[in-house]
Structure 1
Amino acid sequence: MTFERLRTNRFNHWIIIHLRYLVGFAFFPSGLTKLIGNRFTVLSTDTPIGYFFEAMYLTGFYWNFLGFCQVVAGILLMTQRFALLGTLMFLAILSNIWIITISLSFTGTWIITSFMMVAVIILLIWDHHKLIPVFGYNQPMTVKAYPDPERPWISAGLIYTACLLYLSFPGPSTQGPELWILRGLLIVIVSTFLFTHYKVYKSRSALLKNQG
């Protein structure tokens, strides 16, 4: 089957893992901003976009709840293990954002949200076999099992999550000790990226050697 060949291809697997990282991180800055109760924009309320965001901000708890859901969806995607749940949450939230950017004629923003929608749909298609039992009410069926991300990718996701949440937190972080922390976290991210790829490469090389 075409889907099975695509799903078991190692390069496609690598793309999906890093697409989850990228999409998950995309919600951290805006989500944290809402979660701690800050305004998302400084646009004048004389414009429809500014008025809309100000009205959303004045809802109070809903504004915080929206930010919380964005952060949770991002974290779930980054973990790899719970990526499908994160994808479903992300799709629900992003669908609203996407329609809003189109309805209010955001300059250029609708293009970005459209690309994000495509990315989320790709992630959903990748794991769609896990949703088959939901739509097969009271019918016996066998769900095809595919390899999950290896442990190094899961561990890397947890490290990326901790580092990127800190880096995405609103507030000054370019002076004094904060600057050194920022540099340190960037080094951790790069080191994790390199080490993870090396670890996976070594494990696969050893597997191929044993099989040979």
Structure 2
Amino acid sequence: MRISLFLDRLHIQVRQNRLLRNFTVFTRIVLALGFIPAGLVKITGERFTDLAVCHPMGHYLYAFYRTGFYYTFVGVMQVLAAVLLLIPRTATLGAIIYFPIILNIYVLTVSVRFVGSWVTAPLMVLANIYLLCWDYDKLKFILPFRHPASA
């Protein structure tokens, strides 16, 4: 059986599960709640944290804060991703925008050995991957699988 056919069948079965549908809504809300406050802090121009500059993460976040427009831009994108996740019609786009932001946060957390988000960052990445898998039917055409011809 081709992988695309297998994934199509699996996706249909998963999407019919009521518990997983409710879990998906819950996941979207929780991820949105994770980005809205952080994004608003950046949009208003406030420092995200008061970590000391002598700490690698504090040094990075201070330099990030000092970038000016880029700092604000990331905040706008965080809020945009969060709001899009909360609207069912735009949730897929929200998950797509959310992914590189949270993946960057995760890689940063691991690279500077920051214990402040060593649990939340990977869980948020996994939750975002779950949402992308949930919308597999909308995203499958960009995957490198052969797709059956449309009738």
TM-score above 0.5: yes
Give the Å deviation of 1:134.
2.9
What's the RMSD between the two structures over aligned residues? 1.9
Distance in 1 separating the partners of 2:149 and 2:85: 27
**Which one is further off, 28-37 or 17-26?**
17-26
Flag the structure with more relative contact order, 1 or 2, with Cα contacts below 8 A and sequence separation at least 6.
Answer: 2
Alignment check: 8 A CA contact 1:133 1:141 kept: no
Instruction: Give the TM-score normalised by structure 2.
Output: 0.87
Q: Which residue of 1 aligns with 2:89?
A: 81
3-state secondary structure, aligned to 1:27: helix
The verdict on how the C-alpha distance between 1:68 and 1:141 changes in structure 2, with shifts beyond 3 A counting, is: farther
Q: Name stretches of at least 5 consecutive residues in structure 2 with no aligned partner.
A: 1-8
Give the Å deviation of 1:6.
1.3
Greater C-alpha radius of gyration? 1
Q: Which residue of 2 aligns with 1:48?
A: 56
Give the Å deviation of 1:56.
0.4
Paired residue type of 1:19:
T
The verdict on how the C-alpha distance between 1:134 and 1:12 changes in structure 2, with shifts beyond 3 A counting, is: same
3-state secondary structure, aligned to 1:86: helix
Give the Å deviation of 1:123.
0.5
Q: Which residue of 2 aligns with 1:22?
A: 30
Paired residue type of 2:124:
M
Q: Which residue of 1 aligns with 2:69?
A: 61
Alignment check: 8 A CA contact 2:24 2:131 kept: yes
Alignment of 1:90-109 (within 5 A): 90-109=98-117
Instruction: Give the TM-score normalised by structure 1.
Output: 0.63
Alignment check: 8 A CA contact 2:11 2:137 kept: no
Alignment check: 8 A CA contact 1:20 1:80 kept: no
Among all aligned residue pairs of Structure 1 and Structure 2, give the percentage whose two residues are the same amino acid.
Answer: 36
Number of aligned residues: 142
3-state secondary structure, aligned to 1:105: coil
Distance in 1 separating the partners of 2:38 and 2:106: 14
Distance in 2 separating the partners of 1:61 and 1:7: 40
Distance in 2 separating the partners of 1:20 and 1:125: 13
Paired residue type of 2:77:
C
Deviations 1:100-142 (A, max 9, x none): 00111111412110111110011011101211223479x7744
The verdict on how the C-alpha distance between 1:134 and 1:141 changes in structure 2, with shifts beyond 3 A counting, is: farther
Q: Which residue of 2 aligns with 1:202?
A: none
Distance in 1 separating the partners of 2:141 and 2:128: 21
Deviations 1:3-50 (A, max 9, x none): 311111122111111211111111011110001110001112122111
Q: Name stretches of at least 5 consecutive residues in structure 1 with no aligned partner.
A: 143-212
Could you list the runs of 4 or more consecutive aligned residues of structure 1 that deviate by over 6 angstroms after TM superposition?
Answer: none
Distance in 2 separating the partners of 1:141 and 1:57: 50
Alignment check: 8 A CA contact 1:95 1:117 kept: yes
> Is it true that 1:6 corresponds to 2:4 in the alignment?
no
